[in-house]
Amino acid sequence: MSPAAHLPGVRQIAAQVNAGACPVAIVEAALQRAEADQLNAVIRVYRDSALATAAEVAQRVATGASLPLAGVPVLLKDNICYQGHPVEACSRILTGFVAPYHATVVERLLAAGAVIIGAANMDSFAMGSSNETSCHGPVRNPHDPNRVPGGSSGGSAAAVAAGIVPLALGSDTGGSIRQPAAFCGTLGCKPTYGRVSRYGLLAFGSSLDQIGPLCRDAADAALALAVISGHDPLDSTSSPLPAVAAAPTARALAGLRIGMLELPDEGLDPAISATLTRARQALEAAGASLVPVRLPHDRHAVACYYIIATGEAASNLSRYDGIHYGHRCQDPADLEEVYARSRAEGFGAEVQRRIMLGTYVLSAGYLDAYYLKAQRVRRLLVQDYATAFAACDVILGPTTPTPAFALGEKIDDPLQMYLNDIFTIGANLAGVPALSLPAGHTDKGLPIGLHLQGPHGQDEALLGIAAAVAAVL
C-alpha cells in the first residue's frame, strides 16, 4: 500500500482546517516529509513562505472564510511560475531564474487557501517520459527505487504517491501527467485544452500543453480543478468554458457506453492486458455496455505529435539565447558564440535533440511536407474523436504499454522512450480531457493505470465516470 493511503487527502485536509484544525501544523508535517525526501522528487522546499502562507490561511479561516483548499500542501512542477521563487524547468539554461509573477493557477491556489511548499522535479523543459533528463538527476519510483516514476511530471507523481503532499500540479503535453500517474499509482488528470490557464507555464508545445492535478482520487481532482480552471484573459488560448464543478458529476455505470479501441497485438504488457480485461468484465457486470470504436488516424498520432511538438518547442525555446535571461557562457568571442555556447551548455541532450528536429520540420522546403501535413492529420484525428464519442460516453484503455521500467533502460533509445506515450498522445492532439486511474498492481507490486478519455469540455462527466469505474475495480 502506498504511504499516501495513510495520510488525509485534499478534501479531508480542507475540511479539517475549515473546521478549526491548525494549517501550520499540517504544513510543517508536509515540509518535514519534503525535506526527508529520498526519491529526488522535491528539488526545492519553500519553508519560510509556506509557513507564512499557512499562518495567513489560519487567520482567514478564523475570521470566517471558508476556503476550498484550506491548508492543503501543494507541490508545483518546476515549470510553473511562483512569484519570488526560482522556476528553472530543471534545466541549466534557467539556473537561478526567479519568477517575476504568479502563474494564474498559483494565484487561484493561494486564493483558495492552498499552501505551496516547494517545487517538484521534472524532465528538462518537460521533454521526457522517465524524469531522467532533469539537471537535478532522476526521480525514483516510490514503489521500486530502481525504476523510473514516468515523465515529465515524475516528481509530482512520486511525491503524491509517497505521501509527501496530497496534491501536486503537473503539465501534460503528450501524457506527462497521466503516464507518471500510471507508473506511480496516483490519479492524474489532463483537462480539456484551454480549461486551465497556461499563463505562467514555461511553454513546451503551446497547442498541446495543459496544467492538471495529480492526487489520490477523482473527487480530489475535481476539487483541485474547480479552483484552477475557468477562463483567463491573460491566456489567449483560454477556453470560455466555466470552472469545473467542485464535486464530480455522479454517474451510474448502468447504461454507460464505454468505448473500446482495438489495441496492438504486440507491445502491451500481459499484466496490463489482464487488468484491462478484468476492468471490462467488472464494468459489464455493473451494467455498462462495451462499444467498439475506432480512431482510424490514431496510428499516425506519435509521428504527428513529434512533428508538431518539436516544431513548437524549437520556436518557444528560441528565447533562451544567453542574452535576455538565464545562462550565459563566459568570455564569448562574438555574438554568434554567445548563442551557440550558451544554448549548448544550458540545454540537455534531449532538449537539443528536439530543438534540432523542430528546426528541421519548420525550415524552408520542409514546412509543408512535415509540420503542415501533421496539422492536417491532427484535424482528422479531432474528427475521429468526435465520431467515436457520438457512439460512446468515454473511451477506456491502458495508460501505458508497460509498467514502470528500470532507470537507464531506455534513456539511450529515444524511439522506445517516445513510444511510452502511444496511448496518451491522441488526447493532447485532439484537446479532449483524459485521466489515468489507479487500477491495481503487477505481481512485482508495480502500479497499473487505466486511461479514460472523454468528449471535449466534458471534464466533470469524465471525473464522475472515473469515480464510478474506480468503485468497481
* Catalytic positions, written as ranges: 77, 152, 176
Beta sheet of 434-441, edge-to-edge order: 42-45, 115-120, 73-77, 167-172, 210-215, 187-190, 434-441, 447-453, 394-398, 257-261, 289-293
The Cα 226–Cα 196 span in angstroms is 10
Give CA separation, 148 vs 214, 268, 347, 437, in Å: 17, 18, 22, 18
Contact criterion met (CB below 8 Å) for 86 and 98: yes
3-state secondary structure string across 171-238: EECCCCCHHHHHHHCCEEEECCCCCECCCCECCCCCCCCEEEEEECCHHHHHHHHHHHECCCCCCCCC
The Cα 104–Cα 118 span in angstroms is 17
264: nearest Cα among 93, 434, 60, 419: 419
Q: What's the CA angle centered on 419, arms 416 and 425, to 5 degrees?
A: 155
Q: For the chain, count helices (H), then strands (E).
A: 15, 11
Give me the sign of the Cα torsion angle 183, 184, 185, 190: negative
The Cα 347–Cα 354 span in angstroms is 11
Pairing of strands 73-77, 115-120: parallel
73: nearest Cα among 220, 226, 244: 220
Q: Which amino acid is at 54?
A: A
Contact criterion met (CB below 8 Å) for 203 and 237: no
The Cα 220–Cα 215 span in angstroms is 6
Secondary structure E strands in 73-173: 73-77, 115-120, 167-172
Contact criterion met (CB below 8 Å) for 25 and 32: no
The Cα 369–Cα 51 span in angstroms is 54
Residue 411's contacts (CB-CB under 8 Å, 6 or more residues apart) are 130, 132, 417
The Cα 349–Cα 133 span in angstroms is 8
